[in-house]
Structure 1
Amino acid sequence: MTSGRQLLTRFSRPVPRYTSYPTAPHFHGGISAGDVAGWMRGLEAGQSLSLYVHIPYCDRLCWFCACHTKHTLRYAPIASYLESLKREIETVGALVSPDVRVTALHWGGGSPTMLKPADMRALMGWLRTAFHFAEDAEISVEMDPNDLDDARYDALADIGVTRASLGVQDFDEKVQKTINRLQSFEQTAAVISAMRARGVRSVNCDLLYGLPYQSLETLTHTVEQIISLRPDRIALFGYAHVPWMKKHQTLIPEEALPDADARFEQMTLAGELLANAGYDPIGIDHFALPGDSLARAARSGRLRRNFQGYTDESADALIGLGASSISDVPQGYWQNMPAIGEYRRLAEAGDLPVVRGIALDDEDRMRGFVIEKVMCAYGFSTSELRARFGAAAGPVIEEARAYARQNPDVCSFDAFGFRLQKDAFPFARSVAAHFDTYLEGGRGRHSAAV
């Protein structure tokens, strides 16, 4: 049996993270605001909707970050942006049937907790006015401990937050200084305590491996500290060094970054520490306590993947609001204008601020289903594929059979269908890429698969 370390060399090619299929580099300008409006009007009564709201501002710029965000120490740009966001919410809300229920809402950024308490409440009010929220809707917010105070904690409780999501990255001081992300263990613990005291049911923490000056020792210390806080979910991401996309990453000394072997060691060690502490591994980079809804979804085969990563959400569509946000509906994908000035101009005019997207055909949907299953369940059932897509599934099934025959140490093909071998689980992205017909001719550059 080939070991994971041996597979590392074979799967060294950078590939997409597959939070969509086709992936974002294949979106194009041929999708218009009119197309998108029609897609939103096509959501039917009884369908469910997930909302994502993007706040593209931070009061410090973390050098490792690959998000669409801007650094500001002034609140005026944020206040102006919120007025434009309000207008977009009204425009989109008028297109979506009131009989479509919002079952999940996520505020991301940037740093949503930079918002003043009154603005947090106002934003939630705009959303509830424009959309029909289910009584049990999940509401999650990304939180920066450096922004938070009692007034903001109370505002977050007032808007009904059910999940607090904290970026931690690493607690080692040298690593933190090198990535310009100073955040102590004590600050992090205080946020978790404050949110739990206000009734938040679930806490998620994001960790990174592959950071500059990170070692097995520093990573072990960070993971052990996080385990002591007992978050319900932990995301363990490999740092994506993409300075051709994010120029501020050039501030990180490349000579201080671990090589591929060291990254694999870090990933493996952190995963073992979390598993030994009682966390279930979920997909390629998540861990959850057995009672968490993400772990239950993984066990029951309901795990999904969207632009926010792994999720237990079962919504029929996801609509992104704010600059650069991406939406996913049955007909296709679209992205909002990333440039904040142009986004504001379009939104305030009552136009949908669409910049690019892609319409899906049946082949896209079928391959997207296969890729999502490989990413979430490490394989797919041929009977389920045929039931969904009929005779069109035949060529993809033959591709899977041939790939398994050529790579028996990676995967197998049997009466069930296509399955990855356990040692190949960390390389699910690379296996999924085999079914991506856009990849070879694509323009996108991608991060390391592990």
Structure 2
Amino acid sequence: MQLAASLLEKYSKAGPRYTSYPTAPYFTDAFGEKEWLEEIKQTQDKGRDLSLYVHIPFCDTLCYYCGCNMVATRNYNRATEYLDYLFKEIDQVAALTNPGRVARQLHWGGGTPTYLAPDDIRRLFAHIASRFAIAADAEKGCEVDPRELSREHVKALKDAGFNRISLGVQDLNDTVQKAVNRVQPESLIRQVYGWMREEGFDSINMDLMVGLPHQTVETYREMLDKIIDMGPDRLAVFNYAHVPWMKKNQKLIVEADLPSLATRLELQQLILDKLGAAGYVYIGMDHFAKPDDEIVKAQQSKTLYRNFQGYTTHKNCDIYAFGASSISQTEDVFVQNVKKLSDYYRLVGEGRLPTERGLRVTNEDKLRRDAITRIMCDLELDKASFGRAWGIDFDKYFADALVELKEMEVDGLVALSPEKVVVTQVGRFFLRNIAMPFDAYLKQQSADKPRFSRTL
């Protein structure tokens, strides 16, 4: 796969990541606790399984690039207090849930879930398992920061039943690490990775970032060689999203130290070449996996899905999300919890659900969500099949989108035929751009339109 600098420059523009559609900036406070309570009650007998998400917002230190909802603190009492309220929220939702519903997926994110002490990891998991029926073969994943991590933390995760680990690496170069305030030597990464393998984790993802200050082709090549040598099962190589107007901590990054457009192109080409040569399959949207990984098989069988946890094999699940800023989802609704801990504690303490905003989707939203999901997961859209499913004439309904896609076809990103829209090998790199023509919200004229990160 060869990327042209002209394509990178042309398509590097602001756009959503499409972990949802409509995207989170369009959620509204007109949808609140009352509406969410009613939605929970009305959706208990629809035959859908559950996906449970828990947000742990704490970290020991602030990474300058971070775009998450997090709190940097070394006062562990804050985590103890948070868990007390988190347990209460879990109890509130569990009491409204049909006990026959089964959780097929569990994910802990942050912040840093392993900020929790090992015994609290076990305690939190046990509390969830006592309130919800978790399938014996459920996918149970946790994000891990190698700093401050002990062997006991890894044992606690295994004892709790986790079977997937996502290890935050970002970059192995000392200069890059210091520039973003995330210092974690290669020796530490190898040690932690070794602990995970020794404890029996056979599905380990590594998160890397591209576009960080001081990254060069030479240093990134050295890092990729070391990562490939370790052999993680999956890799998520995220583009650094520089949005200092949204995340004030990113103002601590010196913009002059960020890689140039030309260097970013070389880095992206290097990633595709090196990981491809090492046998990893490029799923799209920054994700790579070994050929025998279930996520690769799901893409091949067209059963892959995308939600707030990224790519998943669990499509027919309602997401119940717990903790500050977390986002829940049913077929018809998105809802987000309050972000400030003080607000979260107040609402949960009052016996209320800590809802801040949400959205009930329309049939139009669902139709377009399906089109965007199919592009991002299947890498193609069968026009006739899609038209039958939604009762539309595809070419007429998406006439404006097809005009934009025609230009992308000229650039080699898609192949258009009377039957299908197919993403090319090069187009996998531009999935966000290919999805955007189907997004009706981007076409709305508004003085306060949301600002997204750049697609590349």
TM-score bucket of the superposed structures, by smaller chain: over 0.9
Greater Cα shift, 305-314 or 17-26: 305-314
Secondary structure of 2:209's partner? Answer: strand
For the pair 1:230 / 2:231, whether they are aligned, the reply is: yes
Can you list the C-alpha shifts for 1:180-223, whole angstroms capped at 9, x where unaligned?
00112221122222122222220000011100000001111111
Structure 2 Cα separation of the partners of residues 206 and 369 of structure 1: 27
Aligned partner of 1:377 in structure 2 is 378
Contact 1:51–1:319 under 8 Å retained in 2: yes
Q: Which amino acid aligns with 2:89?
A: E
Aligned positions of 1:173-322 closer than 5 A: 173-322=174-323
SS of the residue aligned with 2:357? strand
AA partner of residue 411 (structure 1): V
Measured after TM superposition, the shift of residue 384 of structure 1 is 2.6
Partner Cα separation in structure 2 for residue 207 and residue 3 of structure 1: 20
Amino acid at match of 2:295: L
Provide, for residues 261-288 of structure 1, a one-character-per-residue CA deviation record: whole Å limited to 9, x for no partner.
3222211211210110010101121000
- 1:449 match: 455
> Which segment drifts farther, 350-359 or 421-430?
421-430
For residue 91 of structure 1, give the secondary structure of its aligned residue in structure 2.
helix
Residue 417 of structure 1 pairs with residue 417 of structure 2:
no
CA contact (8 A) 1:45 1:97 kept: no
Mapped contact 2:405–2:434 kept (Cα < 8 A): no
Residue 338 (structure 1) aligns with: 339
1:355 aligns with 356
Instruction: Spell out, residue by residue over 1:36-69, the C-alpha distance to the aligned partner (whole angstroms, 9 max, x if none).
Output: 1222221326421111100000011111110000
The residue aligned with 1:76 is: 77
Residue number in structure 2 paired with 1:432: 435
How far has the Cα of 1:400 moved from its partner?
A: 4.3
How far does the alpha carbon of each residue in 1:322-353 deviate from its partner, in whole angstroms, 9 at most, with x for none? 00011121111111000011011111222111
**1:421-448: CA deviations, max 9, x gaps?**
3333211211211111111436211111
Percent of counterpart pairs with the same letter? 39
Contact 2:3–2:265 under 8 Å retained in 1: no
Structure 1 unaligned segments of length 5 or more: list them: none
Deviations 1:17-51 (A, max 9, x none): 11111111111101121211222221326421111
Residue 39 of structure 2 is matched in structure 1 by 39
| Stretch of structure 1 that moved more, 36-45 or 364-373 | 36-45
Name which of structure 1's ranges 381-390 and 222-231 shifts more when overlaid on structure 2: 381-390
Partner of 2:132: 131
Q: How far apart are 1:321 and its partner, in Å? A: 0.7
Give the drift of 1:2: 10
- Structure 1 counterpart SS, 2:441: coil
Deviations 1:219-241 (A, max 9, x none): 11111111111110000111111
Q: Residue 139 of structure 1 aligns to a residue in which SS?
A: strand
Please say if residues 3 and 269 of structure 2, whose CA atoms lie closer than 8 Å, have aligned partners that are also in contact. Answer: no
Give deviations 1:158-198, integer Å, cap 9, x for gaps: 10010111110110000000000011222112222212222
Change (3 A) 1:407 1:283: closer
User: 1:290, CA displacement in angstroms?
Assistant: 0.7
Change (3 A) 1:309 1:260: farther
Q: Note if contact 2:64-2:249 (Cα within 8 Å) is conserved in structure 1.
A: yes
Q: CA deviation at 1:376?
A: 2.1
1-structure distance, mates of 2:143, 2:137? 19
d(CA) in 2 for partners of 1:157, 1:244? 39
1:113–1:144 contact (8 Å) kept in structure 2: yes
8 Å contact 1:40–1:96 — kept in the other structure? yes
Which amino acid letter does the alignment assign opposite residue 80 of structure 2? A
Partners of 1:102 and 1:388 lie apart in 2 by: 28
In structure 1, distance between residues paired with 2:419 and 2:301:
16
Q: Look up the equivalent residue of 1:187 and give its one-letter code.
A: L
Q: Cα gap change, 1:376/1:220 in structure 2, threshold over 3 Å: closer, same or farther?
A: same
Matching of residues 44-59 of structure 1 within 5 Å: 44=45, 46-59=47-60
Report the CA distance shift for 1:219/1:305 in structure 2 as closer, same or farther (over 3 A).
same
The runs of at least 4 aligned residues of structure 1 exceeding 4 Å deviation read none
Contact map agreement 2:104 2:135 (CA 8 A) in 1: yes
Residue-pair matches, total: 450
Separation of aligned partners in 1, 2:46 and 2:408: 46
Superposition RMSD in Å: 1.8
Distance in 2, matches of 1:405 and 1:310, equals 27
User: Is the contact between residue 374 and residue 380 of structure 1 (CA under 8 Å) also seen in structure 2?
Assistant: yes
1:61 aligned partner: 62
Aligned equivalents of 1:433 and 1:404: distance in 2? 10
What is the deviation of 1:392?
7.0
Paired residue for 1:163?
164
CA shift digits 1:117-176 (9 cap, x unpaired)? 221111111111211111111111111111221322221111001011111011000000
Deviation at 1:293, TM superposition (A): 1.1
TM-score (norm 1): 0.96
Measured after TM superposition, the shift of residue 315 of structure 1 is 3.7
Q: CA separation of 1:86/1:2 partners in 2, compared to 1, >3 Å: closer, same or farther?
A: closer
C-alpha distance in 2 between matches for 1:411 and 1:150: 47
Secondary structure of 1:439's aligned partner: helix
Partner of 2:22: 22
Match of 2:388 in 1: 387
Instruction: Judge conservation of contact 1:305–1:372 (CA < 8 Å) in 2.
Output: yes
